[in-house]
């Protein structure tokens, strides 16, 4: 029978550098100082000054390490970035190489996710096959009692009570020990209404610890963190949980606003003979008031609209929904006259929401004639993209809706050629570039002119190319106060 492996004591990983001012302990075999040098500071192991200096240096080192790690954590802006940083910092503190964090808020509102460090998707899948109650972090997630210093399993393969499936997975993934910590925060009055309302149903008091999830780190050999690394890891995860809770609320708000805005926009674009349609919509974490619409009208016509309501948050999203619904009604009644449609919309806005303004562009499209009659209110001009030309459509200069006592501006006609695409967009596409207006328009024009020839027959490919070219490097999907709407209309 093989004897159990003696567990190693894991310390702080060398990836977190010790500060240069840390003082080493005195040598245990140092001889007492005699003679004239006796007036110097004693360096023996029992000298109170040396012990105090060494202890203070250790405290300074620990505080510096925690400061560096928490500084890196607070620079994360999204929940996924925060979880990744917690894993990396925790691994450095407890001297591990791999780990995972499971986000599973006890209120049941989600999002539930698992993020691995040094573990692939297949490895995470293998771990999910182990009964949850057999895993240290699983016991934390199930609400079982856990000590303040976490759950250490220093030698899994020598543990006779280890579940056979857990033993098999540990051998497959090559880890022999683990250390897990809970991620929880104290419930406060600042919790969101949804969280507080659901806390009772989930069996979690809003005034007690609120579980967010659990983190676990794996060792390749039998080992466990010592008292100092456990203490530091505990301090770090308690702070990290507070930061993750804030990021979680932002993520929930972003998801709720995106869902609300998505429900108020077309669930699908209509199929109309003679044209193909594609759209892109990006909203910020607070939700915005940009919208688009494509509405089949009598006589095989099509109503096209894009617009933007001032402000952000739930009130702007609600105002956007009301304005879009009203525009649809006016389009059905008098869509062949875009000026009349926007005039009615301006009157409604001025009477019902006098403190709010909006920009809008409405077009009456006749696919059989490849013609669009346009009227705009303070909105950016459409962009016409074809094989032989890429140009902005000249529209009349006009004020946004709600800015003047009475709005009215002449309409213009756009005549397209077969295969040409008309791009309707909101100002957010230009604002997100961070460039001045003239450079932003030039960037948009260059992106449209650079659409590959093979992609020009597909409005979806055109819209995607323009969006990613105008907003490169993830700007299209990054958090921003500016919404983005892009509607592509290709004529057959």
CATH code of the domain containing 422: 3.60.40.10
Q: Are residues 252 and 307 in the same domain?
A: no
Enter the pTM of the model: 0.66
- Whether 250 and 286 map to the same domain: the answer is no
Verify that 119 and 205 share a domain, yes or no: yes
Looking up tokens 């939700």, which residue turns up?
A: 287
Q: What is the pLDDT of residue 451?
A: 95
Return d(Cα 16, Cα 139) in angstroms, integer. Answer: 30
351 CB-near residues (< 8 Å, 6+ apart): none
- Say whether both 300 and 246 belong to one domain: no
Instruction: Indicate the residue among 256, 284, 316 that finishes a domain.
Output: 256
- CA 480 to chain centroid, in Å, comes to 11
Domain annotation covers residue 35: no
Q: Is 358 left (phi over 0), alpha (psi -120 to 50) or beta?
A: beta
Shared domain check, 378 and 299? yes
Task: Please tell me whether residues 211 and 296 are part of one structural domain.
Answer: no
Q: Which residues pair with 312 in a beta bridge?
A: 288
Contact (Cβ atoms closer than 8 angstroms) between residue 414 and residue 393 = yes
Indicate the residue among 256, 278, 312 that finishes a domain: 256
Residue 39 resides in a domain = no
- Residue 361 falls within a domain, yes or no? yes
Nearest partner of 462 among 411, 412, 421, 434, judged by Cα = 421
DSSP state of 75: T
The reply to whether 324 and 395 lie within a common domain is yes
Q: Clarify whether residues 271 and 331 are in a common domain.
A: yes
Report the C-alpha gap between 335 and 116 in whole angstroms: 54
Q: Mean pLDDT of successive 10-residue segments in the chain (492 residues)?
A: 50 47 37 36 58 81 90 93 96 95 92 94 94 93 82 91 93 95 74 38 51 95 93 94 93 83 86 95 83 94 95 87 94 94 92 90 96 93 94 86 78 94 96 94 96 94 96 85 93 94
User: Whose CA is closest to 148, among 87, 58, 242, 238?
Assistant: 238
The reply to whether 309 falls in a domain is: yes
Structure tokens at 16: 């977190």
183: tokens are: 């991620």
Same domain for 439 and 322, yes or no, is yes
Q: What is the pLDDT of residue 37?
A: 35
Nearest to 177 by CA among 220, 122, 207, 114: 220
Question: How confident is the model at residue 438, as a pLDDT?
Answer: 94
Distances (CA, A) of 295 to 277, 383, 395: 11, 20, 22
Last residue of a domain, one of 195, 222, 256: 256
Regarding whether 235 and 141 lie in a shared domain, the answer is: yes
- Same domain membership, residue 208 and residue 163: yes
pLDDT of residue 235: 93
111 by DSSP, 3-state: which? Answer: coil
| Alpha-carbon span 324 to 322, nearest angstrom | 6
Q: Kindly state whether residue 94 falls inside one of the protein's structural domains.
A: yes
* Domain span at 299: 265-491
Angstrom distance (rounded) from CA 79 to CA 90:
16
């Amino acid at each position: 029978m093989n004897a159990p492996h003696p567990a190693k004591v894991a310390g702080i990983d060398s990836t977190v550098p010790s500060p240069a001012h840390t003082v080493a302990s005195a040598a245990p075999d140092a001889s007492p100082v005699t003679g004239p040098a006796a007036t110097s500071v004693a360096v023996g192991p029992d000298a109170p000054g040396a012990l105090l200096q060494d202890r203070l240096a250790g405290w300074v080192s620990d505080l510096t390490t925690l400061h560096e790690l928490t500084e890196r954590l607070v620079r994360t802006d999204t929940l996924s970035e925060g979880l990744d940083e917690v894993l990396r910092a925790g691994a450095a503190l407890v001297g591990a190489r791999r780990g995972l964090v499971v986000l599973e808020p006890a209120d049941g509102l989600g999002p539930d996710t698992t993020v691995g460090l040094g573990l692939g998707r297949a490895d995470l899948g293998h771990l999910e096959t182990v009964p949850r109650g057999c895993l240290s972090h699983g016991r934390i997630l199930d609400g079982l009692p856990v000590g303040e210093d976490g759950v250490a399993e220093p030698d899994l393969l020598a543990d006779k009570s280890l579940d056979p499936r857990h033993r098999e997975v540990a051998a497959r993934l090559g880890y022999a020990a683990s250390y897990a910590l809970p991620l929880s925060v104290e419930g406060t009055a600042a919790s969101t209404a949804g969280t507080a309302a659901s806390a009772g149903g989930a069996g979690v008091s809003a005034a007690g610890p609120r579980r967010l999830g659990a983190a676990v780190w794996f060792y390749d050999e039998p080992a466990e963190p010592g008292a100092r690394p456990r203490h530091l890891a505990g301090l770090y995860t308690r702070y990290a949980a507070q930061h993750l809770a804030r990021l979680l609320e932002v993520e929930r708000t972003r998801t709720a606003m995106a869902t609300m805005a998505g429900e108020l926009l077309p669930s699908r674009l209509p199929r109309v003979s003679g044209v193909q349609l594609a759209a892109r919509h990006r909203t910020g974490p607070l939700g915005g008031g940009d919208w688009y619409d494509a509405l089949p009208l009598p006589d095989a016509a099509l109503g096209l609209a894009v617009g933007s309501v001032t402000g952000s948050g739930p009130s702007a999203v609600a105002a956007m929904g009301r304005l879009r619904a009203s525009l649809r009604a006016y389009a059905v009644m008098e869509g062949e006259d875009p000026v009349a449609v926007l005039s009615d919309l301006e009157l409604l806005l001025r009477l019902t929401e006098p403190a709010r303004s909006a920009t809008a562009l409405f077009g009456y499209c006749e696919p059989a004639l490849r013609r669009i009659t346009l009227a705009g209110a303070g909105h950016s001009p459409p962009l016409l993209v074809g094989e032989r030309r890429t140009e902005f459509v000249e529209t009349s200069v006009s004020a946004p809706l709600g800015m003047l006592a009475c709005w009215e501006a002449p309409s213009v006609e756009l005549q397209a050629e077969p295969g040409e695409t008309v791009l309707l967009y909101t100002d957010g596409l230009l604002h997100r570039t961070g460039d001045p207006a003239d450079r932003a328009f030039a960037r948009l024009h260059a992106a449209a002119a650079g659409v590959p020839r093979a992609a020009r027959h597909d409005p979806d490919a055109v819209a995607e190319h323009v969006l990613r070219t105008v907003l490169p490097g993830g700007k299209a999907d990054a958090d921003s106060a500016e919404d983005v709407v892009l509607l592509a209309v290709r004529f057959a």
